[in-house]
Amino acid sequence: MLGPKLRLRGNGSMRRFLLVAAALAGSGVASATDVAVCTDQGRLVIELADRQAPKQVENFLRYVDMEYYSGTVFHRVVSGLIVQGGGLDRNLHGRPTLSPVANESGNGLRNERGSVAAARGQDPNSATSQFFIDVGDNLDLDDVSGHGYTVFGHVKQGIRVVDAIGHLPTGASGPLKSEVPMPLVVIHSIARLDDSALDALPEQGREAALKQKIAEAGAAGDNGALLRWIGVYRSTCGPTEPLIAVAEARAALAQNDRRRAVFVLEEYFATAQRGDPAYDDALALYRNALPESSQSAVQPIPDCVAPVAPEIPHGATAATDQMVAGQARVKAFVASGQTYIECIDRVADDKGRATQERNTAIVEHNRMVGEMERLAGDFNAQIRTFKARQ
């Protein structure tokens, strides 16, 4: 979903941008939802048009609340016109999306400089997660009999961040043939602003105070409060903290929000080192977060060959030589499994590979460890049965 195909045209005036911002404030949007976008280039705040584009805002916030945007990138820049992101990861691979939402382009909001609009395909009602920010005035994208591009917010703070992204050189990269900014600009998170929570904290030492709130909520087992304070922490664009990511994933799982846990952990794996103390906990949480259908079968990993589990002799009926042969087969399987795990771990740790491929390797690591443990446990049980016959 690459959004609008734009005609090159001159930028509109800042005066017109200020007028549209004033119009939005006067129409009741001033009290609407604000979100903070944390990027490699800096922080920006988007004020959402809850009243004028309720369906699109609701859709956008669903992605925000599940941490979908963490680790996505601004993957498209049309100089002087738009910057676009919200659907591709660092390797320019698409993420799964929710169902598309209805077009709301006839809501009176314009594609003026600083506006935030929903990207879509040829179908006017095909918008999902991707959005673009108007760097210039793009009035030809406005409503034409319900076929325009829905504006659902505007940049309240940080327009210079948008300009910096819009000035990056572009070219071809990965599956995209053009308009990819170089370097890619990563969105580390998008989170709702919670002014009441921030106002309750001191300005000096706010980061430490937030971490303390997170720790207290975790110690109390209050997952709702923990997730709220982590959201507040993310909205400040605080530094990435592996322990906070793992705590968020654990709390999300406790509330049965598997999608949020998956996206949080995928961003963790994209940035954390294998030796990080939280890595093993993150692996276990990730396996629990994935649908069972993703875990049950062997996941193909390029260049790594999974060993096939051998048949285990039945201790109640097998002869001694059959048990000895079975033990040899189990030992050989475990040795091959360890070699296989080393191979897939190299894939999982290779940040040059696609995120989906690395995540598949992580899942397969867990599956293989579980298979080895299961087989060893089953054989030991058969050994006990065999010895009981002697």
| Structure confidence by residue, pLDDT tens digits, 86-105 | 999 888 888 889 999 999 99
Torsion of CA 73, 76, 82, 114, to 10 degrees: 0
Give percent of the chain above pLDDT 70: 89
DSSP 129-190: S-EEEESS--GGGS-STT-SPPEEEEEEE-HHHHHHHHTS-EEEETTEEEEEESS-EEEEEE
Bond from prior residue into 124 cis (ω within 30 degrees of 0): no
Output 266 or 129, whichever has higher pLDDT: 129
State yes or no: pLDDT of 336 exceeds 60. Answer: yes
246/291 Cα distance (integer angstroms): 19
Output 292 or 281, whichever has higher pLDDT: 281
Residue 138: Cβ-neighbour burial (10 angstroms; 0-12, 13-18, 19+): buried
Q: Determine contact, residues 169/123, Cβ cutoff 8 Å.
A: no
Mean pLDDT of the chain: 86
Q: List residues bridging with 73 in a β-sheet.
A: 186
326/235 Cα distance (integer angstroms): 57
Per DSSP, the three-state class of 6 is coil
Output 28 or 67, whichever has higher pLDDT: 67
Tokens of 205: 């030492």
pTM of the model: 0.73
Output 328 or 171, whichever has higher pLDDT: 171
Give percent of the chain above pLDDT 90: 51
Determine the pLDDT at residue 96.
85
213/163 Cα distance (integer angstroms): 35
Q: How confident is the model at residue 303 (pLDDT cuts 50, 70, 90)?
A: confident
Task: List alpha helices for 206-354, DSSP H.
Answer: 206-219, 223-235, 242-254, 258-271, 279-289, 292-295, 320-349
How far the first Cα of the chain sits from its last, in Å, is: 68
374/370 Cα distance (integer angstroms): 6
Tokens of 14: 């800042």
Residue 99: Cβ-neighbour burial (10 angstroms; 0-12, 13-18, 19+): exposed
